[in-house]
Chains A and B, each alone.
Chain A
């Protein structure tokens, strides 16, 4: 009886003490909320496919809304088109980023790989391969487009140009080889940097007002770098292009610190500056200003291998004295040997 009493007292004491401690509220702090990410949150971008970006009679896919898009497979249109030429992906919206995700857009019978028909703004295409399209690899057709970026792309064997942009664009770290016409055309100007542009059927690069730097431009079928609106060309390696290495068909350009081997620098306009370039072993002239070109400044270059044609500069231009470094006293002298 006594034992039972002690047990009862102990249990009572424990229960009393326990109930004296503060307890959490039994009311939930709020509605249950997800604490983990969904798959859509992990990959929030939109897949380019027939459901999300349906095409039409001339485009396999159309991106018509702003956003971030990506590929989940190669784009191979000849399987689907029954012979009709289509663009791969048309972008008709502003504010679009398209990640090719390492995949290839293989054109075969298609038209252009990426087609940007209107005056789009803020377009980025990156990270993949575009090859074999009957027209251009990338075709941005409006001169009113701006903030376009094309980067880390390999573009080859397209029937026209690798990249052609009539608006302003930055083409960065792209390689364009073996296209039937030009490698990269930025008619609307912009930046072309760190690109390898080889073996295209016509010009390597055409620039309509901007900066070309750190590019390797070799073995193209016509001119290596053609500038048609005032631009800067610097730090490029230009070799064995069939016509000129660098051709200025514009006024107000600066051509600085380039290496031209088996290629020359030609100027077909006025008011340009050609400085610190190294030009060797050309077919006719090293640095040449065509008749009619005036007020071009040609200084501190070195040219060899063309004899009397190292510098062909008519009157009316500002040519640093031509001589050897050992004897020149002018800081603007051009070296010739």
Chain B
């Protein structure tokens, strides 16, 4: 009897609960049809890092290059690129060849380590709009960066450290080299064959020239202890640079129309070569002004006897005895102020000449 009673009570409760649910069903309900296909509401990893990784899948190489960038776009490294001899059976390869226009390559702080390789970055033709930045390039048998096209347009190399290559950065065409360091390369540190801008760079201990500029601006660079010249202008403007301890001339001008203004040159031409100096001018119609030149080998500021009409004004040269200035006839030079003490010479173009 009790069992029947309990069963009755349970059935009543269920019915009440079921009945109580009907008023809910009387309210409007949302459509069960989805409003549309599900769509992503968050970023994918590819959207966060949309650039293309340089690797064998995305940028496969060939017999001469570890990787080739053959399409426009933005690329980056995710690891060091090491090109040791044993990977290639002795074949010299470039690290990354760029054959497309409109390419930005971010080394992402990683290193291109050459060993027996060819060039770290190789740009073979007249490519347009190429930027390479932010990393290290070392030990390549040819150049760290090698851009071979004279007709190349809009090339930028910035925030690179390049060492132990043939040339550090070699541009046959025009380009901008900004905030790069080129150390211990076997030839020039930076070579801008067709001009451009080289600013904020350090070129040190290279076996050739520190910086070669073929028509452009070299500014605010530190150029030290290179085996040949510090800055080689053919032609260009050199301004605001520190040039120190280079084996030949600190600044060598080998074309007309250059301007060498406001540089500090210390102990250059350590080889004491006869056709070198702290600043050496080997053409006509150049202007050398406001430079401070001390303790150079052989001569402070020297102009080749083969040329004329160079202007040498307002410089200070110290520590080369009678050779502070070697200015042949046919040039235009301010008079020398050689006496210590209060300056009485009022000539505004005068050069200072002292020997401690």
Contact = CB atoms under 8 A, between A and B. Distances in A.
A78 to B, nearest CB: 13
A101 B73 contact: no
B168 to A, nearest CB: 20
Given A39-B45, A196-B197, A103 B104 contact: yes
Contact of B259 (A71, A102, A176, A278): A278
A216 interface: yes
A280 interface: yes
A214 B199 contact: yes
Interface string A228-258: 0000000111010000000000000000010
Residue of A43, A47, A104, A335 with most partner-chain B CB within 10 A: A104
Interface stretch (B28-36, B60-68, B213-221): B213-221
A40 B42 contact: yes
Interface string A66-77: 000011111000
Given A218-B195, A329-B347, A280 B257 contact: yes
Interface in A284-337: 302, 304-305, 324-326, 328-333, 335, 337
A329 B235 CA distance: 30
B197 A214 contact: yes
Given A102-B51, A131-B101, A39 B43 contact: yes
B80 interface: no
A72 B154 contact: no
B267 interface: no
B153 interface: yes
Interface string A198-215: 110000000000000011
Contacts of A74: 72-73, 102
B211 to A, nearest CB: 14
Given A154-B131, A194-B199, A337 B332 contact: yes
Given A103-B74, A178-B153, A324-B332, A218 B47 contact: no
Interface string A260-298: 011000000000000010101100000000000000000
Given A103-B73, A175-B154, A259-B259, A47 B47 contact: yes
Contact of A154 (B47, B129, B197, B215): B129
Interface in B146-179: 153-156, 174-176, 178
A328 B349 contact: yes
B196 interface: yes
A154 B335 CA distance: 46
Contacts of A152: 131, 156
Contacts of A178: 128, 153
B258 interface: yes
Nearest to B71: A74
A281 B309 CA distance: 12
A329 B128 contact: no
Interface in B192-239: 195-197, 199, 215-217, 219, 235-237, 239
B74 A101 contact: yes
B48 A43 contact: yes
Interface string A136-167: 00000000000000001011110000000000
Interface in B92-119: 101-104, 106
B178 to A, nearest CB: 7
Contacts of B197: 194, 196, 214-216
A286 B73 CA distance: 44
A332 B49 CA distance: 58
A38 interface: yes
A329 B348 CA distance: 7
A166 B85 CA distance: 56
A97 interface: no
Interface in B311-332: 311-313, 332
A42 B43 CA distance: 10
Nearest to A323: B332
Contacts of A329: 346-348
A39 B153 contact: no
Contacts of B102: 74, 104, 106, 129, 131, 154
Interface centre among B42, B45, B50, B75 (most CB of A within 10 A): B50
Given A196-B154, A259-B237, 17 more contacts: A129-B103, A154-B131, A156-B153, A157-B128, A173-B176, A175-B154, A177-B153, A177-B174, A194-B199, A198-B174, A216-B174, A235-B219, A237-B216, A281-B256, A281-B285, A324-B332, A328-B349
Interface of B: 42-51, 72-75, 101-104, 106, 128-131, 153-156, 174-176, 178, 195-197, 199, 215-217, 219, 235-237, 239, 256-259, 261, 284-287, 289, 309, 311-313, 332-335, 346-349
Leading 10 A-B pairs by shortest Cβ distance: A102-B74, A72-B50, A102-B104, A331-B348, A104-B102, A261-B257, A325-B349, A154-B154, A154-B129, A280-B257
